Structure 1
Amino acid sequence: MRYRVRHLTEYLYGAPVTLCYNMAHLLPRDTHNQRCLSRRIAVTPTPVYQTEGVDYFGNPTFYFSVQEPHKKLAIDVECYFEIEQNDLSNQLTLHDLSCAELRALIQASQSPELRMVKEYTLDSVHIHRSKELGEYARRCFTDDTPVLQACMDFTHQIFEEFTFDPAATSVSTPPEQVLKDKRGVCQDFAHLAIACIRSLGLPARYMSGYLETLPPPGQEKLVGADASHAWFAVFIPDLGWVEFDPTNDLMPNEQHIVTAWGRDYADVTPLQGVIFDGGDSQALNVSVDVQRV
């Protein structure tokens, strides 16, 4: 399957910004089943400096600096992808590594790969382990339950018990509050799942990207109707990182497009930086289109 993704980000300021420095996690990365065919990024006003790089997690980064007064900043990214379908049907039935066995492997960390994975069992900026979070997931992650089946059951549990509500949370809402209110968005459900799984001593990481959304039968797809998406992945020896989407109760396949991954949202924020001046107010507009080509 091939896709075209356009992600337009616009900041509108109450007064001119005289100088800004920014880092973006908006460029695509290649994965085992995803390949970027082409990409384009345009910033308005034109930066005096821009460069691409790679962060600690291997995610592509884009740095730029605008040094002329502006009341509007626009970052327009267009990418083309080719995604191969994963054969997920055999993973759940054939891989029977239990939760207790994976926990023991991670604790022993007898290989460089497992030692690197261990950091995904620890606390991070937005995720802190707790007994309460661990208890919420424990009924799925019993010691003798296969890890993949436990993750799928837990994905379904979040999907059934939580309500998608964009007004219920903010970027900084902790998983404990999401668990209490049973409301949030994809980022909250990913953070909650990761926090619960880490609280049980298992490795989980945050996945950021896009999801192709399809309109109801008979209706046209609206321009700009798509959005950035978040889900989580759990490390399984021999398989690597296996992904789960609690917002949609499924294992991501060819409709999920990965841009970055890390310990939580703070590692893969789409755009972050410093501005000088700009007044007391600013507005953010984001438009995302995911189209099959």
Structure 2
Amino acid sequence: MRLQVTHDTFYDYAPAVETAQHLAYLRPLHSAYQQLLSHTMSIDPPPAQLTQNLDVFGNLRSFFSLDSAHETLRVVAKSVVLTSARELPISTLSWEGTQNYFQYQSGRHLDKASEYVFSSPFCPRHADFASYARPSFGPGVGVLDGAADLMRRIYTDFTYESESTQINTPAREALVQRKGVCQDFAHIMIACLRALGLPARYVSGYLLTQPAPGTVKLQGSDASHAWVAVYVPDLPEGDRWCDLDPTNNRAGWHSPGEDYVTLGTGRDFADVSPIRGVIHGGASHTLTVGVTVEPLLDDLSLPPLPPFSPMAPGGASQNQFQA
């Protein structure tokens, strides 16, 4: 599916911000399973500095700074992405076998996915997460089967309620109240999997705004979305991440569906927040975010973007960047 994504972020400051530095994660991933056909990012007012590089998780991040007073800031990212979908693969590895695979043993090869077994700021270790996860992981249950069952239980047990949590609401609090938004459900599921010694990562992205005729609009569209990927060691190397969306009970290999756009991956939301920064001034502000994902005609004349090449330090000073 060929999708066009527009992510419009607008800040209104009072009083004016004197100087600011920001990090943005707004460029969708480009891979064998999701081709990025075009991408632009406009910034108003124009930044004094704009540089880009890859973070440790393989996401492209943009750093920009503003060195003059400004009362507003608008960042608009537009992307065209070719998505695909594959059903969950067959795995014969049990969850206990996966747990053992990631336990340290002298001389054993260290899988890079090991970093996703440990706690992170938004996904702490707590016995409550292990207690909630265990009914899905009986003796000998496959790691992928157990993760899919956990996804379905969160989808069934929890209520999607947009005003029930804040961006910094602890995952354990959302677990107790059994309601939240996609970010909460992703953090809960990740914390549950890690509590059993299973690697899981946070996926930031988008959902198709308008569903196909006769289908139900998914929760989390019209905004940034979040879901989970679990690592399955017995799958082919390079194809071991399986995506599960507990907000909508959707799952697939590398993506829950072709109506999903993957923006970035990390340990939790803190690693791939769309925009964050430090400002001097602007004691108060209002934030408005608009996201639209819409299908385009099946005109595939645009070639995929070439592999990313980081800009040199102190890169271009401009108000529009094309990746």
TM-score w.r.t. structure 1 length?
0.92
Query: How many residues matched?
Result: 282
- Name the structure 1 match of 2:157: 161
Distance 2:271 2:196 in 1: 22
Distance 2:208 2:269 in 1: 20
Secondary structure of 1:107 counterpart = coil
AA at the equivalent of 1:79 = S
Give yes or no for the alignment of 1:272 onto 2:276: yes
Q: For residues 229-260 of structure 1, what are the alpha-carbon distances to aligned partners after superposition, in whole Å with 9 as ceiling and x for unaligned?
A: 00001101224111100000011021111111
Q: CA deviation at 1:217?
A: 5.2
Task: Please show how residues 164-183 of structure 1 align to structure 2 within 5 Å.
Answer: 164-183=160-179
- Name the structure 1 match of 2:199: 203
Task: Provide structure 2 residue ranges, at least 5 long, that are not aligned to the other structure.
Answer: 297-323
Distance 1:137 1:166 in 2: 24
Distance 1:50 1:214 in 2: 33
Distance 1:284 1:236 in 2: 39
Q: For residues 90-110 of structure 1, what are the alpha-carbon distances to aligned partners after superposition, in whole Å with 9 as ceiling and x for unaligned?
A: x1xx31211011111111463
Match of 2:132 among 125, 136, 139: 136
Give yes or no for the alignment of 1:188 onto 2:192: no
AA at the equivalent of 1:111 = H
Q: CA deviation at 1:213?
A: 3.2
Secondary structure of 2:132 counterpart = helix
Q: Which has the higher helix share?
A: 1
- Name the structure 2 match of 1:18: 18
Q: CA deviation at 1:58?
A: 0.8
Secondary structure of 2:168 counterpart = coil
Distance 1:10 1:213 in 2: 20
- Name the structure 1 match of 2:69: 69
Give yes or no for the alignment of 1:259 onto 2:263: yes
- Name the structure 1 match of 2:6: 6
TM-score w.r.t. structure 2 length?
0.84
* Cα RMSD (Å): 1.7
Change (3 A) 1:47 1:57: same
Asked if structure 2 preserves the Cα contact closer than 8 Å seen for 1:2 and 1:83, the reply is yes
Change (3 A) 1:218 1:137: closer
AA at the equivalent of 1:28 = P
AA at the equivalent of 2:124 = H
Asked if structure 2 preserves the Cα contact closer than 8 Å seen for 1:233 and 1:241, the reply is yes
The more displaced of 202-211 and 165-174 is 165-174
Q: CA deviation at 1:215?
A: 5.3
Structure 1 runs (4+) deviating above 6 angstroms are: none
Distance 1:108 1:170 in 2: 37
Distance 2:195 2:146 in 1: 14
Asked if structure 2 preserves the Cα contact closer than 8 Å seen for 1:232 and 1:245, the reply is yes
